[in-house]
Amino acid sequence: MTMENMKDIVVRFNRRGESGNIFAVIGSMYHQLRERGMTMEEFQPYFRKITNGHNYEEALATIGEMVTLIEEESE
């Protein structure tokens, strides 16, 4: 799967809720990639790149370079 194809994946999250936990965001991303045939071995370089960030915002920015992130507002 190419990075261009990955942008078709949409991950919705709410940073104030459970879906905003960075590992929940990564899990949602991986779940969708796995449905498209990506193995855990193929996902590892992406996971390392995301988790090498120094903070939450950097991790989200890295994920946003790979897939489409949509932040939902809390009510």
Please check the confidence at residue 1 and state whether its pLDDT lies above 80.
no
Q: What are 11's strand-pairing partners? A: 69
Please check the confidence at residue 75 and state whether its pLDDT lies above 70.
no
Pairing of strands 68-71, 10-13: parallel
Q: Where are the alpha helices (DSSP H) in 36-68?
A: 40-51, 56-66
* Domain range annotation of the chain: 3-71
For 15-63, the pLDDT digits (tens) are 998 898 999 999 999 999 999 999 999 999 999 999 998 999 999 999 9
Structure-token pair, residue 24: 């929940």
